[in-house]
Structure 1
């Protein structure tokens, strides 16, 4: 009887451990359920992992070795694998904290910001990183460059300028409120090169200078006409000086008389 009780006790103790191992096996089958692992190596490779706490993909720095499958090269791969698939594929348990991780937290979800990420002011955050990002500035209506600290940002935070332009400029202006965004907090801003804005052209007509060749041509023509008139005048009306110091009329004058 004592032997039977010992067998039952051992069976009861072994049952929870077996269920725990089954749970670990199920987690190993789902790369999105595991916590991201930086590993012992000292590299700094930008990677993405799925965070079950907030239900989104986040950025982190991978050391370069001994990682796990919750490690994606691009955010699109993480979204395709862990968000677009059926949620039933992932257990609802909360993922353990990241081990030995320097995390670049992506902006937290916010209902007002999710509706309009372009309306918020850019937030550098308390972390000390210097990650180049882009944000939409409502004051000037264009995307600008700034340095993101690496954590506790918002959705007005884009990896590329093209993403910012596509989200905040090419969409309908009705998507953005007309309110002026508050100033950036704790921000070292790198002003992006501004586009050549069209300047207002004066409506007053511009007086064109008179063409120089035409002016010279008119002057030369006038001088030639004056010279021709002078020659004709000399032939018709000029007097002839005689040796006896008398002034005689030209023969042509008698024809007129």
Structure 2
């Protein structure tokens, strides 16, 4: 007879082995450019730019320009920032207990995939419809060939 205590111990050991690997893959799934901090506020004010804030997992607005020799951290548009960084975040159901079907862009499979959203929190890779997700994260997905006829 298999003891339930052994079964739970086996489950916990498995989780302890798999969870760190899963979290490390999530962190490394974004391009290096998404992890760079923006230049300090003492830099010259320039045209509007966007950068990916790893803590909030959002593309944020700034008018600072590069003032050191570092590689640029900015994107010209919010959609460019989202496509390169925000759409690569894993699905995050959030801390609430609601049940709502949403879509996130699965960068591994290059398509939008449904997931269960709890109703609060989460990240920016969270869309109400499949088409909204595809439109935001795969802008060329809906473009038509020149041979297309109505």
What TM-score range do you get, normalising by the shorter chain? Answer: 0.3 to 0.5
Bigger radius of gyration: 1
Q: Which has the higher strand share?
A: 2
Alignment TM-score, normalising by the size of structure 2:
0.40
Alignment TM-score, normalising by the size of structure 1:
0.24
Higher relative contact order (CA 8 A, sep 6+): 2
